[in-house]
Amino acid sequence: MSLLRCTGVTKRFGGVAALSSVDLAVSEGEIVGLVGPNGSGKTTLLSTIAGSLPVSGGRVEFAGKDLTRTPPHQRAQAGIARTFQVPRPLGSFTVAENVATASMFGRHRTGRVEAIDRAHEVLEEVGLAAHAGAQVGALTLHERKFLEIARAIALDPQLILLDEVLGGLNPSEVAMGLDLISSLRDRGMAVVYIEHNVRAVSSIADRMYVLNQGRNLADGTPTDVLDDARVVEAYLGGPVDA
Amino acid sequence: MSVSSLALAQTLLNGALLGCLFGSIALGLSVKWGHLGVADFFHLSLTLLGAYLTYSLVTEQLWDPLLTLLVTVPVFFVVGVAVQWLFLVLRAEPFTTLLITFALFIVTESVASMVWSPDLLNLRPRLSDGFTTSLRFPEPLPQLAVQPVDLLALVCAVLMVGVSAWALRRTRAGRAVQAMRQDADIARTLGVRVVPITLAVSGLAASSAAVAGMVVSLRMPLSPTLPLQWIGIVVVATMLGGLGRPLGALVAAVVLMMIQNAWSLWFPPQWAPAVTFGVLFLFLAAQPVRRFVSEATASRRLA
Amino acid sequence: MTPFRDLSLWRQFGAVVLCALLAMALVPSFGSDFVIAFGFQFVTWIGLALSWSLFSGNSGYASFGHGVFFGIGVYATAAVLRHTDAPFAVALVVAGLVAAALALVVGIAVFSSPRFAGDLFGMITLAMAFIVVAVVSNLAFLDGGTGVFVRELAADTWIGESTGHQFVVGTAIAAATAGVAIATSTTRWGAALRSIRDDEAVAESLGVPTYRYKVLTFAASAGLAGLAGAPQAVFLGYVEVGAVFTLNIPLLVIMMTILGGITRWWGPLIGAASVVLVREALLDIGSPELSQIILGLALVVVIALMPHGISGAIPRRRPTATGTTTGTTTATTATTGGAR
């Protein structure tokens, strides 16, 4: 059965529909790529799953429970972690404290000392161990992006929502990031991975969903999806959406 | 206790006209809060200063009250620009902006009390009869009386709020202000010059305080603590009307003051200010309901 | 700033208790009347500044209603002493609870609407002052417009006996408030509040129940201010609305906290000491208005020139002198982004 199931998720801002009846299902331990042109509603969908945007209609179920009306912190505690497209580290905390906050308040609510130990482990994993005591202002873009991932891991989630977490990085950093994301799957976490760069996603995704103008356009294995004429059209801009 | 319908009508009318005055004060607050992101207590202080300046010019220089606007409006424009400039220079985050406006709020209270004394000052006895003789509605209408000052409040409110609402919606600069609020960076890339516009909006808001202050000085006895009495009604009107929507704030202020005045007919008047807060709490409690309703109507519109 | 190190936690608790005990033992026995009275006001300000900082300093939500909670504490004490035979301890508890209860109600309502965030909170707390004054002056059992003579009511109680006893109570309350401040500087609670100040949406995404923390901490902060009001009622002897609910209190408390700095728990303590001394010097001017103007403008200058206060300017033991500066600058931008 699915770990995450979104059915008919709709989100309107004023009268404008950003999402119209979108469906999405994620099973345990799979990487699902979520792609689509700019403004297709990817980040909005992610925010409705994380709970920071209330839906206008539809349901969000996670691990068999209806979380449609649950506030974001309870979803985090239930096992849904997210990253932000533009990294948003807590500015008055050190790198390790940023990560420790997640494990203090996350799924297993650890004590402070334990949380700091756990933070160091996670930072080791993502390759930021050397910066553990640094202030976040001293980090480069790629370090900030990886700090976002580290915080998400520290929540010890069953599902991680990654929002363009490799955008703006150079090829070797992207390769490191893709390895890191694959390793999340290897230890049983499911991943929903938004990326503008379709090639990067399709290289590691088990399945892919394509959104266009707030609607489901296609889903399936990466090869099927990339061969789909509608997808090509949506990306290259054909007569349909002109 | 029964109240005659004439008395009720008169009370509601008085409330509506006083609401116009609060609507003019709320104008600047609403625009600055909604579009510049500055919740400016100091705007209320400026209104008070405007009132005191009018008082001094009328009593000491024997100017006509309306003539004082020639001085106060440009002076306040400069003050409004200066305060906003300070925020820009300090790159003040909302927390510090609030603290600064609060400090200025307190400073103004003390300045007013030092310069004009903490006692009540009343301009009314110094005014010509044209300002103080109440007018009656013409014959076929119910025999209601209106103070000329209240009519002035109505005219000022309608003019200022009308012009602001029109400018925000219809002019290029007004749309730039709105775009800026949504996203300053995008507005900048679209060629909106954020800094001058921000300064100008703040200056205009302060100018509106000069006009509202003039009406205040004609309408009520002045004391340094008046802003504290206004803050409840003005803030609640601003929020009920929707941040950044001057017309909404005016309507809300009018309705609130009508409710408060009607309340005083039946209940102890000293509790009337509490009514405003009752309305605010109902409003906050109703937020989730409001969201639900607005989304439900939106979906019907789309369907 | 360092919610995770707790090596020195118990040492800091110990130091506070020791200082408080020393002050309680020495000041009333050896101080002149002036020193005791000055000392009482000093510890009261310390308690107020630390309790304001507990919520507003940590979470970044500026409250201008701290004087209201303090005043409610004063009036609740006066009312208990006037209408019951209960001992002062009961009045003290009532003072704290009533203030906390008001903050709880206001917090539950205001924080339920995230759209308005900090701005609305600031406005409402200021407007609250006006409403509470109206209520207190109109309810005969609290005041009714005539003021309350507490001195006679408390004359035959232990606390009413001497200013020295009031000093002891005031010091105990200030020490308790300092204890809470130390606790927030190193615990889960403090980490939650600081994460809210930095970026509320991120805090939520990391599992922090922001609404609950804001409401409860605001109530705790108000309750501590209410406690500080209890001995003040006895100290003043005569309680009246105009003197108790002045905007002076939030102004000075904010001044103390900002001047002292909010990045460390003891910042407000240093700030309180500085402001109390400056204020004492300003008394010589002889014009309360002028000294208020000077203090208000001084607050603006302090915000402009020393945004991190005195405690923020002192380097930490950790070798991150440069890192600290960049870190706090980022905090500023993060807060701006989060609150809008």
The average pLDDT across B37-64 equals: 90
pTM of the model: 0.84
* CATH code of residue B269: 1.10.3470
Instruction: Check whether A187 has a pLDDT greater than 90.
Output: no
Smallest CA–CA distance from A74 into chain C, residue? C207
Q: What is the pLDDT of residue B205?
A: 92
* One-letter amino acid of C304: A
Q: Could you give the residue ranges of the DSSP H alpha helices within chain B?
A: 5-31, 42-60, 69-90, 94-116, 129-132, 148-170, 172-182, 184-189, 194-219, 226-241, 246-266, 272-285, 287-302
Residues lower than pLDDT 70 in chain C: 1-7, 114-118, 315-340
Q: How far is C328 from chain A (nearest CA, A)?
A: 6
Tell me, yes or no, if C195 comes closer than 8 A to chain A by beta carbon: yes
- The pLDDT tens digits for B195-252 are 888 898 999 999 999 999 999 998 899 999 898 888 888 988 988 888 888 899 999 9
Q: Which residues of C touch B228 (CB under 8 A)?
A: 126, 129-130, 247
Tell me, yes or no, if C263 comes closer than 8 A to chain A by beta carbon: yes
Q: For residue A242, what pLDDT band results from cuts at 50, 70 and 90? A: very low
Instruction: Check whether A140 has a pLDDT greater than 60.
Output: yes
The average pLDDT across A191-217 equals: 88
Instruction: Check whether A206 has a pLDDT greater than 90.
Output: yes
In total, the C-beta contacts within 8 angstroms joining chain A to chain B are 15
Q: Is the dihedral of CA A171, A173, A179, A185 positive or negative?
A: negative
Instruction: Check whether A229 has a pLDDT greater than 60.
Output: yes
Q: What is the pLDDT of residue C327?
A: 36
Tell me the three-class secondary structure of chain A, residue by residue.
Answer: CEEEEEEEEEEEECCEEEEEEEEEEEECCCEEEEECCCCCCHHHHHHHHHCCCCCCEEEEEECCEECCCCCHHHHHHHCEEECCCCCCCCCCCEHHHHHHHHHHHCCCCCCHHHHHHHHHHHHHHHCCHHHCCCEHHHCCHHHHHHHHHHHHHHCCCCEEEEECCCCCCCHHHHHHHHHHHHHHHHCCCEEEEECCCHHHHHHHCCEEEEEECCEEEEEECHHHHHHCHHHHHHHHCCCCCC
Q: For chain B, which residues lie within 8 Å of any Cβ of chain C, measuring from their own Cβ?
A: 33, 37, 39, 41, 86, 90-96, 98-100, 102-107, 109-111, 113-114, 228-229, 231-232, 235, 239, 243, 268, 270-271, 273-274, 277, 280-281, 284-285, 287
Tell me, yes or no, if C6 comes closer than 8 A to chain A by beta carbon: yes
Q: For residue B189, what pLDDT band results from cuts at 50, 70 and 90? A: low
Please report the DSSP string for B282-295 in residue order: HHHHTHHHHHHHHH
CB B291 to CB A57 under 8 A? Answer: no
- The pLDDT tens digits for A27-79 are 999 999 998 888 888 899 999 999 988 898 999 999 989 998 888 999 999 99
Nearest to C129 among B93, B228, B280 (CB): B228
Instruction: Check whether B102 has a pLDDT greater than 80.
Output: yes
The average pLDDT across B281-295 equals: 64
How big is chain C, counted in residues? 340
CB A90 to CB C199 under 8 A? Answer: yes
Q: For residue A218, what pLDDT band results from cuts at 50, 70 and 90? A: confident
Q: What is the pLDDT of residue C224?
A: 97
Q: In terms of C-beta density within 10 A (0-12 exposed, 13-18 middle, 19 or more buried), how is residue A120 classed?
A: middle
Q: Report the alpha-carbon angle A202-A207-A213, nearest 5.
A: 80
Q: What is the pLDDT of residue C319?
A: 38
Q: What is the pLDDT of residue C1?
A: 41
Q: What is the pLDDT of residue A193?
A: 93
Q: What is the pLDDT of residue C335?
A: 34
The average pLDDT across B21-35 equals: 91
Q: What is the pLDDT of residue A146?
A: 93
Q: What is the pLDDT of residue B1?
A: 47
B83-92, B166-175, C82-91, C326-335 — which is least confidently predicted?
Answer: C326-335
Q: What is the ipTM of this complex?
A: 0.90
Question: Which of residues C4 and A132 earns the better pLDDT score?
Answer: A132
Residue A18 falls inside a structural domain: no
Question: Which of residues C173 and A92 earns the better pLDDT score?
Answer: C173
Q: What is the pLDDT of residue B211?
A: 93
Average pLDDT of every residue of chain A: 88
Smallest CA–CA distance from C114 into chain A, residue? A52
CB B110 to CB C293 under 8 A? Answer: yes
Q: For residue B300, what pLDDT band results from cuts at 50, 70 and 90? A: low
Tell me, yes or no, if B299 comes closer than 8 A to chain A by beta carbon: yes
Nearest to C210 among A73, A135, A137 (CB): A73
Instruction: Check whether A223 has a pLDDT greater than 90.
Output: no
Q: What is the pLDDT of residue C2?
A: 47
Instruction: Check whether B43 has a pLDDT greater than 90.
Output: yes
CB B113 to CB C120 under 8 A? Answer: no
Q: What is the pLDDT of residue C323?
A: 35
Average pLDDT of every residue of chain B: 83
Domain span at residue B252 reads 5-302
Q: What is the pLDDT of residue C262?
A: 82
Structurally, chain A folds into a number of domains equal to 1
Q: For residue B296, what pLDDT band results from cuts at 50, 70 and 90? A: low
Structurally, chain B folds into a number of domains equal to 1
Instruction: Check whether B132 has a pLDDT greater than 80.
Output: no
- Residues 6+ positions from C36 with CB-CB distance below 8 Å: C27, C28, C163, C164, C167
